[in-house]
Amino acid sequence: MKSARFLALLLMVVLVIPLMAQKDRPKVAVLKFDFSPIKHWWWGDYDIGEGIQALVEDELLDRAVFRIYSRKHLNDLLKEQDFQQSRRADPTTAVQIGKLAGVKYIITGTVVKFEQKKKGGGLGFVTKKLGFGGGAVKLAEAKVGITAQLIDVETGEILFSAKAEDKSTGVFIAGITSAGGGFLGGDSSISKAAEKAVKKLVDQIVKKARGLGLI
């Protein structure tokens, strides 16, 4: 009898503790990254801000230190409330969005570098159609630089900023693997550079958030 009670208590602890830990994790929303500083849009009209947003969100999910507000629900909310993209990076607007989403923190960010250069010269472009675009497969070097800020929704205070830059050599692309909100995958130089830069950025976000006792 005692053994059965002990096993029941142990099972309850095993089930309840992870749920409590999940509840204690602060909820955060990641806004689409602004890429207006990039003047030469060599990739065409693909939304790289949404691509970086998706990468940052996925990387944060892997770290399991925040609860993440769904990107789809966030985009639906922004459309419903008619928040202009140009205003979303403003801390005051970000706070308004955060309150509507019911999150504790908002992450805003900017793409400050997004370059892809063929080995031997020349630039590529990205289109919105499915599959790889035309042109021979060549190697390229890509560089991606991004910055981010963590904003407290309750106070409007910018708690910290982070920045990261990385580069990679890989396949030069003249197309994109998906027309959806995600980012490039595979062996393309720009995809690998973006993923590396995002990992560095999220490393800093997690480290600084822990240092401030936020997580």
Residue 107's Cα: distance from chain center in Å? 9
| Closest-CA residue to 71 (of 147, 153, 151, 182) | 182
Q: Percentage of residues in the chain with pLDDT exceeding 90?
A: 53
* Mean model confidence pLDDT for the chain: 81
The torsion defined by the Cα of 179, 149, 147 and 26, in degrees rounded to 10, comes to -60
- Model pLDDT, residue 18: 43
Q: What average pLDDT score do residues 139-168 get?
A: 96
Contact 106, 153 (CB under 8 A): yes
Distance from C-alpha of 207 to C-alpha of 215, rounded to nearest angstrom: 10
Structural tokens at position 171: 């396949």
**82 falls in which pLDDT band (50, 70, 90)?**
confident
- Model pLDDT, residue 29: 97
| Closest-CA residue to 37 (of 102, 109, 98) | 109
Structural tokens at position 185: 């995958």
Locate the domains of the chain by residue range.
27-211
- Model pLDDT, residue 3: 63
- Give CATH for domain 27-211: 3.40.50.10610
pLDDT of 154 higher than 60: yes
* Lowest-confidence region among 15-29, 169-183, 186-200: 169-183
Q: What is the DSSP string of 109-148?
A: EEEEEEEEEETTS-B----SSSS--SS--EEEEEEEEEEE
**Global confidence as pTM:** 0.78
**215 falls in which pLDDT band (50, 70, 90)?**
very high
